Structure formats: C-alpha cells, structure tokens
C-alpha cells in the first residue's frame, strides 16, 4: 500500500509566519488535490516547547542563522516557531485534514531538533512513524510539504533508510533556500539517495 506524507504545512512556515517559506502557501491547493489520489494519508507537525534549543532567542548573544553545538549536533539557530499550542503551530486553515489517518509531532525534545518525520536529528528519538506505516501495510510513501531543503529532505532520506519505496512530489514542496540553490541541491541529494522525483500531474493524471 502507498501513503501520502504531508510534512509541516503549518502557519509559521507560510508567508506571514515567523519562519516563512517563500511561496509556502502555494503548496496547499496542490496537496489538497493530491489527497484525492490516496487512501492512506499521514501528517507531521513541528511541535516545539518554548525553551527549544534551536531557537536563537534561547541563546544570549546568538542570532538567527548562526550555528551552535546542541547536544553534540551542529544546529542552525531559527526564529521561534511552531510552539506547542500556538496558532503558528496549527496547520494552514485551507489544508484539508479530514482524510488523515494520524499526525506525528516532532521537535518536542528541547535538547535536539527534529527535521525528519521519522527521527530527531541525533537519531536517538523515534516518532513511531515507521512502525505505524509498516504495521498498516504501507510499503511505498509519497512525500510533500515544507520545506524541501530541511524537513522534507530528511523525511525522504529516512524513509529510504527505513526501506520504503520513496517518491518526492517536487512541485508540492517549497524550500527555505538560505543559500539560493539549497532546494535544488536537496532534490538532487534525495534523487541520488534513491528517491523517485515526480510532479503532481504525473500522479493526478497518470497513476
């Protein structure tokens, strides 16, 4: 069985949010259309405590974009975003969630960030997503959402390492692009790791 994984389409990652991804809102209608083609859909949600170690605000004299050592992992510092229970952590209001089987929250440990929907960044914490998918007979995953060069990329790479046949729906994602080509480089990295890269129309009209 195949599953659609919808990664972190949350208000803080949408233009106007505290960690806005350019054109992040444009994936919402695309993802809503894609959902019509899948019977098994799972979402992920960044769900940080306010004291999270990835927030620049929690490190005096440090700025957004600087790197620190966070519990043994090189960590870029972000603006405060997707704090548990806030509007910014909620899914985009136009995103359809009525068909979703489950939501897996990540980034809940203040001592380590979690880009992937499967594991945190030091791979010590497991969200349970892999086990859940396998127990439900899922062998193939299609990944979309935000952002191409961070949470989508690491979810795709972990899906491959967990043995899932993995497809990136490239036009249903958008990149942070701290460096101009980060998104393109991320797609190349995912492809070289074994992910198939497709566009939405290939799923809507040819599957």
pLDDT in the model for residue 207: 67
Catalytic residues: 8, 106, 151
CA-CA-CA-CA torsion for 24, 42, 113, 175, nearest 10 degrees? Answer: -20
End-to-end CA distance of the chain: 14
CA distance 127 to 122: 13
Write down the pTM of the prediction.
0.97
Polymer length of the chain? 207
Q: What is the mean pLDDT of each run of 10 residues along the chain (207 residues)?
A: 98 98 98 97 98 96 95 94 98 98 97 96 93 98 98 98 98 96 98 98 87
Radius of gyration from C-alpha coordinates of the chain: 16
pLDDT in the model for residue 78: 97
55 closest CA partner among 42, 68, 45, 43: 68
Burial of 118 (0-12, 13-18, 19+ CB in 10 A): buried
pLDDT in the model for residue 128: 97
CA-CA-CA-CA torsion for 145, 141, 134, 147, nearest 10 degrees? Answer: -20
CA distance 172 to 44: 15
Give the count of beta carbons closer than 10 Å to the beta carbon of residue 162.
16
Whole-angstrom CA distances from 134 to 42, 54, 68, 139, 151 are 13, 31, 36, 7, 21
CA distance 190 to 187: 5
And the tokens for 105?
Answer: 């929250």
CATH number, domain 2-47+88-206? 3.40.50.850
Give all strands of the β-sheet with 196-198 in edge-to-edge order: 100-106, 41-46, 2-7, 140-146, 165-174, 196-198
Assign 12 to helix, strand or coil. helix
Ordered by start, the domain boundaries in the chain are 2-47+88-206
């Amino acid at each position: 069985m195949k599953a659609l994984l919808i990664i972190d389409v949350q208000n803080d990652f949408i233009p106007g949010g505290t960690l806005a991804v350019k054109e992040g809102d444009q994936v919402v209608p695309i993802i809503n259309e894609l959902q019509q083609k899948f019977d098994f859909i799972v979402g992920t949600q960044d769900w940080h405590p306010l004291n999270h170690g990835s927030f620049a605000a929690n490190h005096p004299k440090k700025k957004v974009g600087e790197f620190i050592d966070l519990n043994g992992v090189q960590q870029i510092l972000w603006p405060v975003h997707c704090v548990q229970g806030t509007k910014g952590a909620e899914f985009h209001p136009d995103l359809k969630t009525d068909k979703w089987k489950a939501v897996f929250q990540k980034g809940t440990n203040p001592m380590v960030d979690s880009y992937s929907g499967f594991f945190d960044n030091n791979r010590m914490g497991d969200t349970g997503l892999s086990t859940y998918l396998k127990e439900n007979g899922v062998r193939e995953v299609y990944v979309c959402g935000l952002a191409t060069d961070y949470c989508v990329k690491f979810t795709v790479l972990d899906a491959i390492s967990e043995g899932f046949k993995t497809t990136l729906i490239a036009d249903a994602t958008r990149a942070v692009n701290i460096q101009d080509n980060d998104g393109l480089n991320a797609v190349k990295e995912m492809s070289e790791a074994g992910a198939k890269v497709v566009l939405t129309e290939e799923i809507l009209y040819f599957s």
